[in-house]
Amino acid sequence: MTDLSTRIAGIYLGNPLMLASGILDENGYTMKRILEEGASAVVTKSIGLKERSGYSTPVVADLGHGDLLNAVGLSNPGIDKYGEEIKIAREARKPIIGSIFGSTPEEFSILAKKMEEFGVSAVELNLSCPHVKGEGLEIGSDPEMVESIVEAVKNSIKIPVFSKLSANTSSIMETVNAASKSDGFVLINTIRAMAIDIYAKKPVLSNGYGGLSGRSIKPVGIRYVYEVKKETGAQIIGVGGVSNAEDVIEYMMAGASAVQIGTAVGFHGRSIFRDIEKDLFGLAEKIGFSKISDLVGAAL
Amino acid sequence: MTDLSTRIAGIYLGNPLMLASGILDENGYTMKRILEEGASAVVTKSIGLKERSGYSTPVVADLGHGDLLNAVGLSNPGIDKYGEEIKIAREARKPIIGSIFGSTPEEFSILAKKMEEFGVSAVELNLSCPHVKGEGLEIGSDPEMVESIVEAVKNSIKIPVFSKLSANTSSIMETVNAASKSDGFVLINTIRAMAIDIYAKKPVLSNGYGGLSGRSIKPVGIRYVYEVKKETGAQIIGVGGVSNAEDVIEYMMAGASAVQIGTAVGFHGRSIFRDIEKDLFGLAEKIGFSKISDLVGAAL
Amino acid sequence: MMENVKIKWKKEETPTVSTLGFEWTRDVKIGQFIMVWEPGVGEIPMSLSSVTGTKSITVKNYGPTSASIVSKSAGDRLFIRGPYGRPFTMVKGKKLLIGGGSGMAALRPIIDSNSYGVVSARTSSELLFANLFEKGKVYEATDDGSSGVKGTPVDVLRKIDLDFEMIYVCGPEMMMKSVYDYLLGKVDQVEFTLERSMKCGIGLCDSCSVSGYQVCKDGPVFRIDQIGKMEEFGKWKLSYSGLRTKM
Amino acid sequence: MMENVKIKWKKEETPTVSTLGFEWTRDVKIGQFIMVWEPGVGEIPMSLSSVTGTKSITVKNYGPTSASIVSKSAGDRLFIRGPYGRPFTMVKGKKLLIGGGSGMAALRPIIDSNSYGVVSARTSSELLFANLFEKGKVYEATDDGSSGVKGTPVDVLRKIDLDFEMIYVCGPEMMMKSVYDYLLGKVDQVEFTLERSMKCGIGLCDSCSVSGYQVCKDGPVFRIDQIGKMEEFGKWKLSYSGLRTKM
Ligand SMILES: Cc1cc2nc3c(=O)[nH]c(=O)nc-3n(C[C@H](O)[C@H](O)[C@H](O)COP(=O)(O)OP(=O)(O)OC[C@H]3O[C@@H](n4cnc5c(N)ncnc54)[C@H](O)[C@@H]3O)c2cc1C
Ligand SMILES: Cc1cc2nc3c(=O)[nH]c(=O)nc-3n(C[C@H](O)[C@H](O)[C@H](O)COP(=O)(O)OP(=O)(O)OC[C@H]3O[C@@H](n4cnc5c(N)ncnc54)[C@H](O)[C@@H]3O)c2cc1C
Ligand SMILES: Cc1cc2nc3c(=O)[nH]c(=O)nc-3n(C[C@H](O)[C@H](O)[C@H](O)COP(=O)(O)O)c2cc1C
Ligand SMILES: Cc1cc2nc3c(=O)[nH]c(=O)nc-3n(C[C@H](O)[C@H](O)[C@H](O)COP(=O)(O)O)c2cc1C
Ligand code: FES
Ligand code: FES
């Protein structure tokens, strides 16, 4: 019997398929349902200290071919109120990973501690949020800041800490080294992008700029997973454009111990988790594996 | 009658469609044919001081959906021998832009001067080649180096100088500011990426890593064209994923005065220039323009 | 994928509601919706109030985006994407349509000679599409009693025989909750169209979810037995920020 | 898009040439080619030597990549993409096939009872597919005279009547150049398959171009009048780096 289970920083996953942050994880009931319908874990929406409305609609644009552009703008109810959603989601009795964003190491620590109190299995640091000091820059592009954040969070909680990094960088290894105290890396977040409607003569998102996700960014995600695995051997969760079983295997061969699925959940529906799981069983014979975790890094 | 002509740094283009660097521009006869078959200008392959074989095959991988991964590895015959190809291409009597790469300001100046001697209309600096000092980093991610290169080249030649920038950056404005003496910017080069064949359990390119081009990167190109146009008002040539007339209009509304086409020439064939030109005439009425250059920056 | 269509005609249905007709070649089923984008204003979901021939939306002037749509004229462009969502189950027999406010827009394409209606609104002038039912087949309910029963659709339902092959309900969630409570146990062929704030329309953002179901994708049409399993129906919704809010 | 197929059988054709058969559902026309990838070694173009039923490639052990392909066995995987390029024009009447070295691989699917062949090679044991022609319909030419005429295909052509509906030529470019020079002005229904070093196979890299035409996309099959317009044919090619080199 093919074994699809895997582990990331000691957390057992029944299959390598997790829900990515920001997709169907605002409402506790939705997360619970997604866990019941096949995801081995969910990552929450990125949560901050205070309630935020984010940008007004349109916040997403379907670009066709499985690609999406979004600028939701980190809307969230604030950490205190979000505990209620996690409580509901925990009824599914599977790992929940709390994603958090902030602008200082202190903010990240407070958020991480609250997440730990709410009973999540790990914390994911969204290091792609805007930097207060640098204009337009992400926190993740300031290695000193990244180092302080990871250190502060690691000192505040006992559960594993994952750093989610941006692909908008000239050197991912610089950020990886700065975040080396993390228990693992989540690669990658969306890529800076934009689309213009030529009839409206306007950007299609209310915010103008947005982040590209979906099929198009898979080769970018694969590259960074491969590079970081090769350079560090660290534990990695691959994200970006996973939409079928082949994509999962590709990420795992590049070095990921598990993957997260975002955009494709929208295009395919929540059944994507069960459908990919079924296809993974089918691929086991064609590719020749009995334990999927044996494939981690097979292409390195 | 719809006017499709445009200008970039004073260079007249009969239509906004140029051939991008590295695609069908190794052999002078090919460039000549492409100019005769509808491109308003061609950019040469990036040429260095000495002959280079580049990477062994596979150097490209068709990823489907109009996407391509490549790692050609800057193969070129060396600047001295390349003059012969430019001589052949010049028989078409349309602008030729000489793309050059090097690792020091001095190298870039020597190359630029040779290109000027060969009779090109402008020089395009490929600032995405590997940096000798930084491991894995591109020259374009070192602002001081970029500044020295642009300055050195500007001091060496009289024809316009375009800086072609990478999207692999946490802040494109930093590079743009460093290259502010350029007569224009060419945005963007390929995006770092990789693909693994799960049956071969190996990267599909001989070099492992490669650059993503084609349809997928268009939203990334649009974003940087928009951002740089908005911040600087500089003249811009948009590149990345242009495959039809709508894409051309989208780049122009984002701020590009002209576009370059690479990957789509392969998938569509050389006839893409004439076909897009025809479709642009068709779109003129639907969108409402009589001079295509009036659309430059319309979405800003 | 965003598309754009030219508005062919515009018709004022009530003082606050207008219908916009446009040619659109996509195949649309009754109950499905589109996302309508007003560049520079916002993007909101709208049911198709006509799904064959010239298609249409029937829009209530409510907030900024709907106001902007309603202010358009024939010849203007409408930016739309879709159609999205699961449609109604169509039946041949006698059917009852219960619509509150602009909710009648989604039900409009169902109206035929075998349809009965319960049309409700704040006041008489806002009763939408009541005139499209055959004579004697429509019941009205107004908050102010200016037309028909003074009260809610439930006040009408109490008075009529529920012998229909299918009952379709669309309106504000609290109205539907009261209809649901009344119909529960009496009939089982009922479909409700839920309305939640929608950001993406394609099952990604979670803003429209009710008890784990995405209204944009699993709905907007749900059967009464599905509604019965939704703890959040008529009780909780998430605000634009994601804050759990009592209805 | 890379695909992979399992090798069904392997047949040694000459001491240096083997044919590999595999099932592949794509529709292939005679004269088209595929790119064959040997992971860790290289990727090279190969004509299909059978285009219906079980497909095949016929490979000459030449350099590292072809050697690696030839060393494979039935059951092994072959990584391929394609088919690429423009095929031969098929005719019903009498035809002449002129093949040099492994060039016969591309011509093989044309061989039928109405085909005549001029098969050339360095030496007798390397004559490829000469045995597939009907008796008396094949002429041989070897550099060392070990079989047939000692010389080139042109030495054969001089001796025969050129009354064919179509002449197909495939082989080393200098051989084809001499055939071209000989046939020019005598016949006009001739098709040549050009061979150039190919990096991309899809019309992007320019490494296969001859006078502005991409052999991978506009060819590999060209008519004699097209060849006539190619200044570079038989004269110049670009090396792997792009250096203009005399042939
Ligand atoms: C499936 C479905 C079908 C519908 N069909 C119809 C129909 O046929 N006819 C009809 O009249 N109505 C219909 N509606 C209701 C209609 O979509 C709403 O009336 C409409 O969204 C109101 O938008 P508004 O901008 O006019 O009003 P507002 O209430 O001002 O805006 C609501 C919208 O504004 C945005 N928004 C809200 N708060 C914030 C904030 N804090 N920050 C930024 N943005 C915010 C959101 O996009 C929200 O959806 C339907 C709804 C659904 C779900
Ligand atoms: C359309 C077409 C159809 C063909 N059909 C057949 C056929 O049916 N049968 C057959 O036997 N042959 C065929 N050939 C010829 C065949 O492709 C060559 O013999 C083959 O490329 C030889 O490759 P090799 O690696 O074995 O030899 P080599 O000569 O060692 O390698 C040639 C290849 O290696 C790479 N290379 C060369 N120089 C360098 C360098 N400096 N750095 C890095 N890489 C380099 C290139 O990819 C080059 O194409 C065909 C060729 C074409 C163009
Ligand atoms: C609508 C949307 C919202 C997102 N919100 C977040 C977020 O709040 N925090 C975060 O770390 N990533 C967020 N992401 C990024 C995803 O988690 C993921 O990294 C990215 O979409 C790539 O994966 P995909 O191609 O499978 O979607 C969001 C993505 C989308 C599409
Ligand atoms: C095969 C290939 C080779 C390329 N070589 C170069 C090069 O030598 N110099 C350069 O500046 N860009 C090079 N590029 C990048 C293109 O010029 C262009 O910036 C990129 O491909 C995006 O455009 P596209 O999507 O239209 O292909 C190359 C791209 C491809 C696909
Ligand atoms: S509107 Fe986004 S999930 Fe339904
Ligand atoms: S092989 Fe690249 S253009 Fe023909």
| pLDDT 10s digits, C16-60 | 999 999 999 999 999 999 999 999 999 999 999 999 999 999 999
Cβ-based contacts of A273 with chain C (< 8 Å) = none
Q: How far is D239 from chain B (nearest CA, A)?
A: 8
Q: Who wins on pLDDT, D215 or C145?
A: D215
Rg of chain B (C-alpha set):
18
Number of residues written out for chain D: 247
Pairing of strands A96-100, A67-70: unpaired
Asked if A27 and C44 come within 8 Å (Cβ–Cβ), the reply is: no
C202 and C104 assigned to the same domain:
yes
* Domain membership flag for residue C221: yes
Instruction: Look up A47 and say whether it is catalytic.
Output: no
Determine phi and psi for D238, rounding to 5 degrees.
-95, 140
Ligand 5 mean position to B63 CA, how many Å?
30
- Distance, CA of A213 to CA of D209 (rounded, Å): 37
- Among candidate residues A111, A91, A109, A83, the one with its CA nearest the CA of residue A99: A111
Is B219 in Cβ contact with A194 (below 8 Å)? Answer: yes
Indicate whether B136 pLDDT > 70.
no
Of the partner residues B137, B199, B223, the one whose CB lies closest to the CB of residue A192: B223
Alpha carbon distance D111, B185 (integer Å)? 56
Nearest to C37 by CA among C75, C85, C5, C73: C5
Q: Which residue of A21, A24, A27, A197 is the best one to mutate when testing the C interface, meaning the one whose CB has the most C CBs within 10 A?
A: A27
Chain D residues in contact with B34 by the CB 8 A cut-off are 212
Whether residue C97 contacts residue C115, with contact meaning beta carbons closer than 8 Å, is answered with yes
Cα dihedral A155, A156, A159, A162, rounded to 10, equals -70
CA separation, residue C219 to residues A37, B94, C47, C247 (Å): 18, 58, 12, 19
3-state secondary structure of C89: coil
Pick from B68, B144, B146, B194 the residue to mutate for testing the A interface (most A CBs within 10 Å). Answer: B194
**What pLDDT, in 10s, does the model give residues D224-244?**
999 999 999 999 999 999 999
CA nearest neighbour of D242 among B27, A42, C189: B27
CA B1 to chain centre: 29
CA distances for A203 relative to A61, A240, B256, B283, B298, angstroms: 10, 23, 15, 19, 10
The residue from C35, C60, C84 where one domain ends is C84
From A239's Cα to the closest Cα of chain C, the distance in A is 16
Would you call D213 and B33 a contact, using CB atoms and an 8 Å cutoff?
yes
Give which of A96, A30, A44, A53 is closest to C232, Cα–Cα. A30
Same domain? For D137 and D207 the reply is: yes
Residue-level pLDDT at A134: 62
CATH number of the domain encompassing residue D117: 3.40.50.80
**pLDDT averaged per 10 residues in sequence order, chain A, 300 residues:** 95 98 97 98 97 96 96 96 98 98 96 98 92 73 95 98 94 95 97 97 96 97 98 98 98 98 97 98 94 98
User: Cα–Cα–Cα angle for A112, A115, A119, nearest 5°?
Assistant: 140
Residue B182, phi-psi category: left (phi > 0), alpha (psi -120 to 50), beta (remainder): beta
Distance (Å, rounded) from C-alpha B224 to C-alpha B16?
18
Residue C52: inside a domain: yes
pLDDT at B132: 66
Domain count, chain C: 2
pLDDT at position A180, please?
97
Tokens of C82: 């879709």
- D99: containing domain: 95-246
Same domain? For D193 and D113 the reply is yes
Threshold 0.90, pTM exceeds = yes
Which of A129, A234, A265, A296 is the catalytic position?
A129
As a three-state string, the secondary structure of chain D is CCEEEEEEEEEEEECCEEEEEECCCCCCCCCCEEEEEECCCEEEEEEEEECCCCEEEEEECCCHHHHHHHCCCCCCEEEEEEEECECCCCCCCCEEEEEEHHHHHHHHHHCCCCEEEEEEECCHHHCCCHHHCCCCCEEEEECCCCCCEECCHHHHHCCCCCCCCEEEEECCHHHHHHHHHHHCCCCCCEEEECCCCCCCCCCCCCCCEECCEECCCCCEEEEHHHHHCCCCCCCEEECCCCCEEEC
**Tally of CA atoms within 13 A in the half-sphere of B43 that contains its CB:** 26
CA dist A104 → A142, B13, B171 (Å): 12, 50, 20
Tell me the two tokens of residue C162.
């529920």
Cα–Cα distance for residue pair D27/D127, rounded to 1 Å: 29
Question: How many contacts does B have with D, using Cβ atoms within 8 A?
Answer: 122
Classify C229 as helix, strand or coil.
Answer: coil
Domain annotation for chain B: domains and CATH numbers: 6-295 (3.20.20.70)
d(CA A127, CA A148): 12
Single out the residue in C55, C84, C113 at which a domain terminates.
C84
Q: What pLDDT score was predicted for residue A138?
A: 85
Q: Is D127 found in the same domain as D79?
A: no
* Lookup: tokens for A216: 């198009």
Specify whether the CB–CB gap between B252 and B238 falls below 8 A.
yes
* Residues on chain B touching A193 (C-beta within 8 angstroms): 219-220, 222-223
Q: What is the DSSP letter of C110?
A: G
Backbone angle region of C129, left / alpha / beta, with phi > 0 → left and psi within -120 to 50 → alpha:
left
Average pLDDT taken over every residue of chain B = 96
As a whole number, mean pLDDT of residues B212-239 equals 98
Q: Does residue B188 have a cis peptide bond before it, meaning omega lies within 30 degrees of 0?
A: yes
Tell me B129's DSSP state: S
Residues D35 and D138 in one domain: no
In a domain, C228, yes or no: yes
Q: Do A266 and C231 touch (CB under 8 A)?
A: no
How far, in whole angstroms, is CA B120 from its chain's centroid? 15
Domain assignment of residue D74, yes or no: yes
Q: Residue B3: how many CB atoms within 10 A of its CB?
A: 13
Asked whether residue B247 carries a pLDDT value surpassing 70, the answer given is yes
**Pairing status of strand C77-84 against strand C33-38:** antiparallel
Token pair for A198: 């030529």
Which ligand gives the minimal distance to the CA of D208?
Answer: 6
User: Which residues is B202 bridged to in the sheet?
Assistant: B197
Ligand 3 atom at minimal distance to the Cα of residue A261: 26
Ligand 5 site residues, Cβ closer than 6 angstroms: C 198-201, 203-208, 214-216
First to last CA, chain C: 33
Could you tell which of D32, D34, D44, D68 is best to mutate to test the pocket of ligand 2, judged by most ligand atoms within 8 Å of the CB? D44
The answer on C198 and C116 residing in a single domain is yes
HSE-CB at A240 with a 13 A cutoff on CA atoms is 33
How far is the C-alpha of A204 from the C-alpha of C82, rounded, in Å?
A: 15
Is D172 within 8 Å of D193 (Cβ atoms)? no
In a domain, C90, yes or no: no
Residue given tokens 């309603």 in the structure block: C70
SS3 C244: strand
Q: Which of the listed residues C40, C56, C84 is the one where a domain comes to its end?
A: C84
Which bound ligand lies closest to the C-alpha atom of D199?
A: 6
Band the pLDDT of B4: cuts 50, 70, 90. very high
* pLDDT digit string, tens, across residues C102-132: 999 999 999 999 999 999 999 999 999 999 9
Query: How crowded is residue C115: how many other Cβ atoms within 10 Å of its Cβ?
Result: 19
- Could you report the predicted ipTM of this complex, rounded to two decimals? 0.95
pLDDT at B133: 66
Whether the CB of A131 is below 8 Å from some CB of chain C: the reply is: no
Query: Do D78 and D100 fall into the same domain?
Result: no
Overall average pLDDT of the B230-245 stretch: 98
Report whether pLDDT(B125) > 90.
yes
Q: Which residue has the tokens 């430059």?
A: B296
CA distances from A174 to A161, A216, B32 (A): 18, 25, 44
Region B222-231: mean pLDDT is 98
Measuring CA to CA, which residue among A190, A221, C104 is closest to residue B219?
A190
Q: What is the CATH number of the domain that holds C33?
A: 2.40.30.10
Looking at the partner chain, which of D65, D81, D203 has a beta carbon nearest the beta carbon of B266? D203
Higher pLDDT residue, A42 or B129?
Answer: A42
Does any ligand 4 atom lie closer than 6 A to the CB of residue B242? Answer: yes
* Residue B229 touches partner D, C-beta closer than 8 Å: no
Does B77 touch chain D if contact means CB atoms closer than 8 Å? yes
| Rounded (5°) CA angle D195-D196-D201 | 100
How distant is the Cα of B19 from the closest Cα of chain D, in angstroms? 11
Rounded Cα–Cα distance for residues B187 and B165 (Å)? 6
Cross-chain residue pair A29–C4, CB shorter than 8 Å: no
Q: What is the mean pLDDT of residues B207-225?
A: 97
Distance CA C234, CA C238 (A): 12
Strand positions, DSSP E, chain A = 6-8, 11-13, 17-19, 41-43, 60-64, 67-70, 96-100, 122-126, 161-165, 184-187, 191-193, 196-197, 202-203, 210-214, 236-239, 258-261
Radius of gyration (C-alpha) of chain C in whole angstroms: 17
Looking at the structure, do residues D15 and D129 belong to the same domain, yes or no? no
Q: Which residues line ligand 6 (CB under 6 A)?
A: D 198-201, 203-208, 214-216
The answer to whether residue D157 sits within a structural domain is yes
Question: By C-alpha distance, which of B109, B107, B52, B103 is closest to B76?
Answer: B52
B150-192 residue pLDDT tens: 999 999 999 999 999 999 998 999 999 999 999 999 999 999 9
Average pLDDT score over chain D: 95
How many Cα atoms within 13 Å fall on the side-chain side of residue B248? 29
Q: Is chain C touching chain D, with at least 3 CB–CB pairs below 8 Å?
A: no
A87 reaches C (C-beta below 8 A): no
Same domain, C146 and C121: yes
For residue A193, the SS3 value is strand
The chains found to touch D (3+ Cβ pairs under 8 angstroms) are B
B5's tokens: 């002509």
Give backbone dihedrals phi and psi of A257, rounded to 5 degrees, phi first. -85, -20
Q: Do residues C190 and C183 touch, judged by C-beta distance below 8 A?
A: yes
Q: A70 CB under 6 A from ligand 3?
A: yes
The reported pLDDT for the residue numbered D31 is: 97
A66 lines ligand 3 (CB under 6 A): no
| pLDDT tens for each residue of D168-213 | 999 999 999 999 999 999 999 999 999 999 999 999 999 999 999 9
- Encoded amino acid at D4, one letter: N
Residue C20 and residue C135 share a domain: no
Q: Cα(B221)–Cα(B191) distance, rounded to whole angstroms?
A: 10
Are the C-beta atoms of B299 and A196 separated by less than 8 Å? Answer: yes
Residue C89 lies in a domain: no
Q: Is C213 contained in some domain? A: yes
